[in-house]
Chains A and B, each alone.
Chain A
Amino acid sequence: GAGVSQTPSNKVTEKGKYVELRCDPISGHTALYWYRQSLGQGPEFLIYFQGTGAADDSGLPNDRFFAVRPEGSVSTLKIQRTERGDSAVYLCASSLIIGGRDEQFFGPGTRLTVL
């Protein structure tokens, strides 16, 4: 079956622009996570959705970042007024948490470059 997909795979934008990054999770997975990963570092948690609601958005760095999951499936991460420091790979993961096991399946990521 299909894994987690993310589009676009690469996004180059200019400082100050608005971007949207899309995540298509594995069908039936109720849990969805967004992370970002900078070169040489581990992924950094941004936000967690259980169904349609953001159950934990404590990792969003500031109010320029926002994410939605209106129908409990596809999610979009939105970044306003992008800054050069936002450049990173943005990873999405989905999971079906059963019996306390949270096996997250990651997508390939979207590489965001802010010029």
Chain B
Amino acid sequence: GESVGLHLPTLSVQEGDNSIINCAYSNSASDYFIWYKQESGKGPQFIIDIRSNMDKRQGQRVTVLLNKTVKHLSLQIAATQPGDSAVYFCAENPSGTYKYIFGTGTRLKVLA
């Protein structure tokens, strides 16, 4: 994978705190969304997905919120751990296509 994001927006959180990473998506026709985590030198790793007929979905320690009105997606990570340090991308899938459009990414730094 890419050595990601020398100049990406960075979110720094204390270990144990909750993290919220935001994403504005571009296409109002998108109906499926995925959050990915990418560590340096690796490919992206699927975290959680959500369809446009939902506004919230929960996984293990993660929650994704979708606001279609303002085309906004957020990823909430509970009790952030050092292993959560990475770059996070949202990806949208426009309805009727197989392509995915990735956002620019946010670097999460977890402070001990």
Contacts and interface: CB of A to CB of B under 8 A. Distances in A.
Interface in B1-56: 1-8, 32, 34, 41-46, 49, 51
A59 B46 contact: no
A89 to B, nearest CB: 4
B44 A40 contact: no
B2 A37 contact: yes
B49 A109 contact: no
Given A39-B4, A106-B44, A108-B41, 6 more contacts: A41-B105, A45-B101, A55-B98, A59-B99, A100-B32, A107-B43
A100 B98 CA distance: 12
Contacts of A108: 1, 41-43
A44 B44 CA distance: 12
Most buried by B among A40, A42, A59, A107: A42
Interface range on chain A (Cβ under 8 Å from partner): 20 to 34
Interface string A22-66: 000000000001000111111111001010000110110000000
B103 A93 contact: no
Contacts of A50: 98
B104 A45 contact: no
Contacts of B89: 42-43
A20 to B, nearest CB: 19
Nearest to B105: A42
Q: Which 10 A-B pairs have the closest CB atoms?
A: A106-B43, A42-B102, A56-B98, A48-B98, A45-B99, A37-B2, A89-B2, A109-B1, A42-B89, A103-B46
Contacts of A55: 98
